[in-house]
Amino acid sequence: MIIGTGIDIIEVNRIEKNLSNERFLNKIYTKQEIQYIKNKKMNAQTAAGIFAAKEAVSKCLGTGISSFSWTDIEIKKSSNEKPYIALYNNAYNIANSKGIYKIHVSISHIKETAVACAVSEGISKEFKEINTIKENLFTFSNANKYIRKRENETHKGTYGRVAVIAGSIGMSGAPYLSSMAALRTGSGLVYTIVPQRLETILSIKLTEAIVKPIKDDNCGFLTKENIKDIYDIIEKCDVVVLGPGIGTNNQTAELVTNIIKDTAKPLIIDADGLNCIIECVDILKKRPGKTIITPHPGEMSRLLHKKNINSKNKVILARDFSYKYNVVTVLKGHNTVTASPDGSYFINKTGNAGMATAGSGDVLTGIIASLVGQGIDCFDAASCGVFIHGLSGDIGSCKIGEYGLIARDIIEHIPYAIKNIIQFEGLVE
């Protein structure tokens, strides 16, 4: 089982400035690591990658580097240059006390920075004492089953067509964030379906997406009158996002309920899409296609007409809702729960408090939609999407901190999260 994870990011020039300092080298690196760096002609990226990996491993152990010497962690390289870990002295003792028997590490680079991710594998003390407990944690190993290196003989149609039905006056950011997140997650084509009044701003903001304006008689929101035009567009798509920033007025709500009842396409319902159905939740049972909902606790409480949603009852509520309404439920927040109608569920451990920011949920919706469009089953896509979303935020926060993190920072780091997942190929729990 997975015991811990750690992520670190460091600017390469910080290491480069110290590479000529023998005291620094001997403090941070083992003799073998120093020789490896010298063999790489004192390459600063190489040295920074090893530094970041040591920090990531120390976080993975749950103590930070202060509990042992830098040289108690050694980053070795296999014959194919894949990094692996050796622990000595206090670092080894800490790992042993926690039941850790293996640590996997991935090192990559983002522009002028080095990024490392570490995952520790073992048997925790609690698991030894109560060996019937199973923690349903979604990990790098799970994600790696679905996020694979791309084949050469492919084209943009291979990676899915995503429709994003979203936006209203004052809410142009929501369709932008969902669309960009889908593109950054690898979608081949993204169609952004918005009221005509948003066409200009979104055509400027979205270079790679295909903006599809829907006539709105200058009202700035979508209505039931638009349903035929919308159906003509989504007919050729593999998955549909419904709700981000779409509004909750009666005319829009009528459109939303009709799309939910009529389209057989896989549907991800988020934000206002959910708020539009709080008085008619049973329409989810009549869906002709697969459904994913992505409520935060406030939206979930409105759907259930229930006040108390907390960390203690999230798993039960998500599983019950999924079973009752035949949907995949992504109940967002700290330790997001993803539940399937058959009772399966995962708890996510990636992410940080900096992601409690406007638009973060729109980004998650776009990520999940992209994975569904690429042919991944809805429950697997939702679980994996939550993991990627949190990991992207973690990488971003390592770079700029939690306070200044915004939704666009999460989008910016999606490719690096995916890159690190691919590099964890072969992790077995």
Q: Which residues are catalytic?
A: 59, 109
Residues facing residue 397 across a β-bridge: none
DSSP classification of residue 306: -
- Rounded CA separation 224/122 (Å): 54
Strand-strand pairing, 328-331 and 291-293:
parallel
CB 167 within 8 A of CB 174: yes
Residues in contact with 327: Cβ distance below 8 Å, sequence separation at least 6, in sequence order? 284, 287, 291, 292, 293, 321, 341
Joined tokens for residue 293? 């909902």
204 C-beta neighbours (distance < 10 Å), count: 10
DSSP string, 359-379: THHHHHHHHHHHHHHTT--HH
DSSP string, 225-286: GGHHHHHHHHTT-SEEEE-TT----HHHHHHHHHHHHH--S-EEE-THHHHTTTT-GGGGGG
d(CA 5, CA 270) in angstroms, rounded, equals 29
